[in-house]
Amino acid sequence: MDDLHPYMFWLIAPLTGLCAIATVITQNIVRSATWLLFTLAGTSSIFFLLGADLVGAIQLLVYVGGTMVLVIFGVMLTAQGPFITMKTSGAEWAISIVAGIMLFAVLGFGATHYVRSSAERAKETVPENPKDSRNSTTIGQGLLGVPVGPSDPKMPSQTIHYLLPFEIVSVHLLVVLIGAAYLARTKRRKEEEAAP
Amino acid sequence: MNELDPLLGYLCLAALLFTCGVVCMATKRNAIGVLIGVELVLNGANVNFVAFSRYHPNFQVEGMIFALFVIVMAAGEAAIALAIVLNFYNNHSTVDVDSADELKG
C-alpha cells in the first residue's frame, strides 16, 4: 500500500484539481454544480488515501449526499432562462485570474517553505505509519469527552477533549434548521394582502 | 531529483482548491456560483487539516476532528445561504449578486 501511495496520489490529485478548475471556468451553473460534485468525490478519495477513513466517509455522506443535494435544489429552483449562463466580462476574468495566480504562488511558496524548514525536525519524530491513534474509535472518544491527543510536556495534567465543541455544533445545527425553515418559507399572506 | 515530500503535494492540492474557490467567488455572478466557491474553499482547508493529521505528530486526532467540524459547519452554511438565495429570488426574481445592492451606501 505504501508503495502505491505516490502513484495513487498522482492519479487522484490532478483529476481533483482539474475538476476544481472546470468548476470555475464553466459558465453554465448546472455544469458547475456537476463539476463540484466530482471535486467533492475526489477530495473524499484523497481523504481515504490519507488514511482518514471516517472523514472520507463523512465527506461522502454529508457533502456529496447532503450539501450537493441542497446546491442542486437551489440550481433547479432558480435556473430559469438568463440565470443558467451568466457571462462574466473579460476584464473581470483577467483581474481574477491574475489575482488567483498570485494567491496560488503565495500559498505554494508558504507550503514549500514550511515543508523545507520542518523536514529535518519532522524526520526524527514522525512515525512512518501513525495509524494507532487515528482510528474512528479515538475520534468518537474525543468527541464524547475522553482525553485524546498528545499531552503537553510542560503541563502533563492538562487533558484535551472535544465535548464542548461537539455540543455547540449540535445546538448550532438545530439553530440552522429553524433559521433555514424560517427564511425559506413561502410568504403567501403578504402576497394575498398585496393582491387586492 | 531528490524524493519529494508527500506533504508538499497535498498542500499544493489544497492551495489549488482554495485558489479555485476564491476565483469562483470573485467571477460568478450567480449567487449559487458564489456558494459553490465557498464549498471549494472549505474543501481546500479540509485537505490541509487531514494532510497535517497524517504527517504531523502533534496533530493526529485534532486534524480529523477539526475536519469533521468544518464539514458540519459547511452543511449548515449551505442550508442558510440557499435559504437566503431563495428568499432573494422570491422577492427580486433574480439571482444576480450585482442586483443585491439595496444596502449600498
pTM above 0.90, yes or no: no
Query: Hey, is A88 helix, strand or coil?
Result: coil
pLDDT at A105 (0 to 100): 96
Phi (first) and psi of residue B65, to 5 degrees:
-65, -40
Beta carbons of A46 and B47 less than 8 Å apart: yes
Contact B16 A142 (CB under 8 A): no
pLDDT at A2: 63
What are the C-alpha distances in Å from A120 to residues A18, A124, B3?
Answer: 33, 7, 14
Has residue B103 been placed in a domain? Answer: no
Is residue A124 pLDDT above 60, yes or no?
no
Query: Would you call A10 helix, strand, or coil by DSSP?
Result: helix
Classify domain A1-87 at the CATH topology level. Four Helix Bundle (Hemerythrin (Met), subunit A) (1.20.120)
Assigned domain for B42 exists: yes
- Residuewise pLDDT in 10s, chain B (105 residues): 345 678 899 999 999 999 999 999 999 888 999 999 999 999 999 999 999 988 887 788 888 999 999 999 999 999 999 999 988 888 888 888 888 888 887
What's the CA gap between A5 and A73, in Å, rounded? 37
Domain assignment present for residue B15? The answer is: yes
Of A111, A125, A172, the CB nearest to B11: A111
Test the B interface: residue of A80, A107, A159, A186 with most B CBs within 10 Å: A107
Q: What is the DSSP code string of A130-146?
A: --TT-SHHHHHHHHTT-
Are the CB atoms for B68 and B57 separated by under 8 Å? no
Q: Which residues of A touch B40 (CB under 8 A)?
A: 20, 23, 36, 39
- Tell me if B101 is assigned to some domain: no
- Under the banding of pLDDT at 50, 70 and 90, the label for residue A157 is low
Annotate A65-89 with b (16+ C-beta within 10 A) or e (fewer): eebbebbbebbebbbeeebeebeee
Asked if residue B1 is part of any domain, the answer here is no
Query: Are A13 and B30 inside 8 Å of each other by CB?
Result: no
How confident is the model at residue A185, as a pLDDT? Answer: 79
Q: How confident is the model at residue A12 (pLDDT cuts 50, 70, 90)?
A: very high
The pLDDT confidence band at residue A134, using thresholds 50, 70 and 90, is low
Instruction: Please indicate whether residue A180 or residue A126 has the higher confidence score (pLDDT).
Output: A180
3-state secondary structure B12-40: HHHHHHHHHHHHHHHHCCEHHHHHHHHHH
The answer to whether A51 and A35 are in contact (CB under 8 A) is no
Chain mean pLDDT for chain A: 83
Residue A130: other Cβ atoms inside 10 A: 16
Pairwise CA distance, residues A84 & B74, whole Å: 24
List chain B residues with CB under 8 Å of A54.
Answer: 64, 68
Of residues A136, A64, A171, the one with CA closest to residue B43: A64
- B80: distance to nearest CA of chain A, Å? 5
In a domain, B104, yes or no: no
CB B6 within 8 A of CB A9: yes
What's the domain range around B17? 6-94
* A55 Cα to chain B: minimum distance (Å): 6
Q: How many domains does chain B have?
A: 1
Interface touch B10/A46, C-beta < 8 Å: yes
Angle between helix B31-55 and helix A5-25 axes, rounded to 10 deg: 160
pLDDT score of A121: 59
Of B1 and A76, more confident = A76
Closest CA–CA distance from residue B41 to any residue of chain A (Å) = 10
Inform me whether the pLDDT recorded for A158 exceeds 70.
Answer: no
Give A186's contacts in chain B (Cβ within 8 Å).
90
CATH number at residue B31: 1.10.287.3510
Q: Give the mean pLDDT of A87-100.
A: 89
SS3 content of chain A, % helix, strand, coil (to 5): 75, 0, 25
Domain ranges of chain A: 1-87, 92-126, 135-150+157-196
Q: How high is the ipTM of this complex? A: 0.91
Is residue B62 in a domain?
yes
Residues A78, B95: contact at Cβ < 8 Å? yes
Alpha helix (H) ranges present in A26-89?
Answer: 29-49, 53-58, 68-78
Judge: B17–A66 Cβ closer than 8 Å, yes or no. Answer: no
Choose the mutation target among B25, B42, B82 for the interface with A, i.e. most A CBs under 10 Å: B82
